[in-house]
């Protein structure tokens, strides 16, 4: 009787532990949305939102520092992809690459895949153990966001922006360097077929974070959206 009871108690303790183990398992990138539903906005909605944005020239551009948006990537934000246990860059690769192979021990890590670069149309292979031609681009660059109003944000909001998957795209490294912190009146994707979506993304980001647009920038985005069919 005592031995039987001991087995029963042990069995119950195993059952009791099971839910605890389940709750402690960290979610992976595939378990949570990697984009806000409805983003980027449709062309019609983007045009409507663009019309509501405050038009103003950039401010405080001399005070911009990358470190004011946080040190590197962070999962500790409430932006899309935040708090899912995966590095922000891995989230972007997982979402934007095709033929993705994930790690067995750590399914957050992208081991390989292929990027069809939206800016150029190039097909870029990715391998975890090799130097990559792929970078993670802030569509509205951190410096551009700073000039458009992020200078007045809290550090927490800037950290959230820097890691918001709606703001980020996997792109060709050289093209990303060329783009740098430029707004659409100074830079557009070389691949004209992407102009419509670029305008939609740009407007969606500016509207989401209530950032201003300069007069030339607004005109350029209107031209991008005019290419939508």
- Spatial contact of 184 and 199, defined as CB atoms under 8 Å apart: yes
Domain assignment of residue 124, yes or no: yes
Task: Tell me the per-residue pLDDT of 174-195, one tens digit each, with 9 for 90 and over.
Answer: 999 999 999 999 999 999 999 9
Confidence of residue 8 (pLDDT cuts 50, 70, 90): very low
Domain assignment of residue 7, yes or no: no
Percent of the chain with pLDDT over 70: 86
The dihedral of CA 118, 124, 129, 130: what is its sign? negative
Domain assignment of residue 4, yes or no: no
Q: Does residue 10 register a pLDDT over 80?
A: no
Residue 155 CB neighbour total at 10 angstroms:
10
**Cβ-based burial of 229 (10 A; exposed 0-12, middle 13-18, buried ≥19):** exposed
- Spatial contact of 206 and 140, defined as CB atoms under 8 Å apart: yes
**The pLDDT of residue 205:** 98
The domain of 123 spans: 27-225
Domain assignment of residue 147, yes or no: yes
Task: Tell me the per-residue pLDDT of 18-28, one tens digit each, with 9 for 90 and over.
Answer: 333 333 333 44
Domain assignment of residue 3, yes or no: no
Q: What is the mean pLDDT of residues 204-226?
A: 98
| Gap between the Cα atoms of 150 and 215, Å rounded | 18
- Spatial contact of 201 and 171, defined as CB atoms under 8 Å apart: no
- Spatial contact of 155 and 191, defined as CB atoms under 8 Å apart: no
Query: Which residue in 33, 28, 34, 30 sits closest to 105, CA to CA?
Result: 28
Task: Tell me the per-residue pLDDT of 160-174, one tens digit each, with 9 for 90 and over.
Answer: 999 999 999 999 999
Task: Tell me the per-residue pLDDT of 85-136, one tens digit each, with 9 for 90 and over.
Answer: 999 999 999 999 999 999 999 999 999 999 999 999 999 999 999 999 999 9
Task: Tell me the per-residue pLDDT of 40-98, one tens digit each, with 9 for 90 and over.
Answer: 999 999 999 999 999 999 999 999 999 999 998 999 999 988 999 999 999 999 999 99
**The pLDDT of residue 32:** 54
Average pLDDT, the chain: 88
Domain assignment of residue 9, yes or no: no
Domain assignment of residue 101, yes or no: yes
**The pLDDT of residue 181:** 96
Domain assignment of residue 15, yes or no: no
Q: Does residue 149 register a pLDDT over 90?
A: yes
Number of compact structural domains in the chain: 1
């Amino acid at each position: 009787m005592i031995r039987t009871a001991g087995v029963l108690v042990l069995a119950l303790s195993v059952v009791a532990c099971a839910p605890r183990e389940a709750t402690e398992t960290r979610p992976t990138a595939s378990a949570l949305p990697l984009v806000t539903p409805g983003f980027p906005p449709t062309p019609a909605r983007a045009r409507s939102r663009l019309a509501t944005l405050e038009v103003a020239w950039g401010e405080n551009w001399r005070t911009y520092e990358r470190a004011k948006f946080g040190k590197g990537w962070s999962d500790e934000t409430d932006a899309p992809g935040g708090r899912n246990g995966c590095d922000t860059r891995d989230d972007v690769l997982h979402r934007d690459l095709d033929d993705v192979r994930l790690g067995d021990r750590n399914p957050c890590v992208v081991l390989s895949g292929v990027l069809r670069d939206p800016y150029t149309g190039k097909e870029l292979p990715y391998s975890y153990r090799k130097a990559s031609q792929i970078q993670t681009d802030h569509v509205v660059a951190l410096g551009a966001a700073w000039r458009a109003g992020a200078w007045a944000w809290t550090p927490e909001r800037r950290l959230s922006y820097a890691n918001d998957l709606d703001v980020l795209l996997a792109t060709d490294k050289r093209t990303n360097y060329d783009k740098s912190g430029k707004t659409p009146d100074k830079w557009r994707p070389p691949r004209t077929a992407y102009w419509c979506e670029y305008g939609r993304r740009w407007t969606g980001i500016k509207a989401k974070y209530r950032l201003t647009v300069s007069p030339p920038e607004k005109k350029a985005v209107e031209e991008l959206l005019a290419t939508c069919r």
